[in-house]
Copies of this chain bind each other. A is one copy, B any other.
Amino acid sequence: MFSERIERLTGSLIREILALTQREGVISFAGGLPAMEAMPELDLAQAPQELRQYGTTEGEPSLRARIATDLSRLGRSCAADQVLVTAGSQQGIDLASKLFVDPGTPVLIEAPSYLAAIQSFRLFGARFIALPLSPQGIDPAALRAEIARQRPAFAYLIPTFQNPSGYCYSEATRLEVARVLDNARVPLIEDEPYRELNYKHVDHVPICAHLKAAPWIYLGSLSKTGMPGLRIGYAAASPDLVPLLVRLKQSADLHTNRLGQWWADRFLRNPDYPAHLERLRASYRARRDAMAAALDRHFRDFARWEVPAGGLFFWVQLNRPLDSRVLLKKALDRNVAFMPGEPFFPDDDRPRGFLRLNFSHADDEAIEHGIRILGQVVRSCLD
């Protein structure tokens, strides 16, 4: 009765987890929710009436121009007509799946990688080539070998403050990865929603800025720096891909909501924008440090982690590969939630003993309280 892709439709576990975390009294380290108190005000009094009418599939010209300028400043020379405004960067992943993935198509990803990207690629039938991720990024030699052996349709990478690991590719790795992709003409899908959430100075350019021959799609989001409820993201792309992405977008929803685009344009052009980012970084840096201190107090005996230089997550590896989905059930009994690590690997059945802990949403007190309880839960399972 249904399409064959429906057999590959996943997501219920995560949906159930996130639903549980909404319960009154639960301290949640599960989602990637920005802090309400760190968001800009929603001020729409100036919104012009023209926004009521249908807009263009590509997006509002002024916003596209601004995004192109920002990306060019980052080193990725880009014209406004290479930018497509999307319904969050998630839609960019959906469009990329449609563009590249048939049943059986080999797709190269990091292991671990962003859960909802894995789900989207899988839905369309991807066969995953998963490269292990270290704090410096993937191994370019391994990338070259897998490309030669399996010829993936594209490489999906999150080089800056990766979700879930928080890792940030070194400049040397970026250059070498770009060289490998260029030589083989393998398209890059580079997902960077966390780039601006840096807690120490990081000036690595996007990998796509180093590309000279390979096609690329660069995904960005206003959800982490601005407000996610408006659903504004973007896909910038090499000129060969843009017309295809635009037509896929047209078929998906005609265009992105114009009110959110208008707000996003004003937000990015506001003279206060750099100061807003600094305030946001200061706020999240403090929470990251609070969680680092709490983990030191309550997890040091049985786990290890890197303190992330940016992003929204700690990626905690237990010394024994417990099934963190089992841990989650016990933690929820005590009103603490986190994201189990297993679903971030394309083969998500094997217990791996990873926990993804978000530090942006709970306040300092809740962080200390929640990490203490979570530590007790883990310890009781290790004994």
Report Cα–Cα, A4/B103, bound state, in Å.
10
With A11-B251, A87-B87 known as contacts, the answer to whether A105 contacts B3 (CB < 8 A) is yes
Is A321 an interface residue when CB atoms closer than 8 A count as contact? no
Is A55 an interface residue when CB atoms closer than 8 A count as contact? yes
- Total copies of the chain: 2
With A3-B102, A47-B42, A99-B3 known as contacts, the answer to whether A90 contacts B253 (CB < 8 A) is yes
With A229-B257, A252-B252 known as contacts, the answer to whether A51 contacts B42 (CB < 8 A) is yes
Residue of B whose beta carbon sits closest to that of A102: B3
Is A113 an interface residue when CB atoms closer than 8 A count as contact? no
Q: What residues of chain B lie closer than 8 Å to A379, measured between beta carbons? A: none
Is A36 an interface residue when CB atoms closer than 8 A count as contact? yes
**Chain A interface size, under 10 / 10 to 19 / 20 to 34 / 35 or more:** 35 or more
Report Cα–Cα, A167/B334, bound state, in Å.
59
Is A228 an interface residue when CB atoms closer than 8 A count as contact? yes
Is B231's CB under 8 angstroms from A101's CB? Answer: no
With A100-B2, A153-B1, A254-B90 known as contacts, the answer to whether A229 contacts B42 (CB < 8 A) is no
Report Cα–Cα, A11/B86, bound state, in Å.
18
Report Cα–Cα, A26/B16, bound state, in Å.
52
**A160 smallest CB distance to B (angstroms):** 21
Which of A116-124, A289-297, A344-352, A362-370 participates in binding chain B?
A116-124
The contact string, 1 if C-beta is below 8 Å from chain B, for chain A 159-177, is 0000000000000000000
Q: What residues of chain B lie closer than 8 Å to A227, measured between beta carbons? A: 52-53
A34 contacts which of B6, B53, B120 (Cβ < 8 Å)? B53
Is A36's CB under 8 angstroms from B11's CB? Answer: no
Is B229's CB under 8 angstroms from A91's CB? Answer: no
Residue of B whose beta carbon sits closest to that of A186: B1
A residues adjacent to B (C-beta < 8 A): 1-6, 9-12, 15, 31, 33-34, 36, 39, 41-42, 44-45, 47, 49-55, 57, 86-88, 90-91, 94, 98-102, 105, 116, 119-120, 123-124, 153, 187, 223, 227-231, 243-244, 246-248, 250-260
**22 A–B pairs (Cβ distance < 8 Å), ordered by A:** A1-B153, A3-B102, A5-B98, A9-B251, A31-B54, A36-B50, A39-B52, A39-B53, A41-B49, A42-B49, A42-B52, A44-B45, A45-B45, A52-B229, A53-B229, A90-B251, A120-B251, A229-B258, A231-B255, A231-B256, A252-B252, A257-B260
Closest 5 CB pairs of A and B: A52-B227, A87-B253, A229-B258, A44-B44, A231-B257
Known: A36-B49, A91-B253, A229-B258. 12 other contacts (CB 8 A): A3-B98, A3-B100, A3-B105, A4-B102, A36-B50, A36-B52, A41-B49, A42-B52, A44-B44, A86-B253, A90-B254, A253-B253
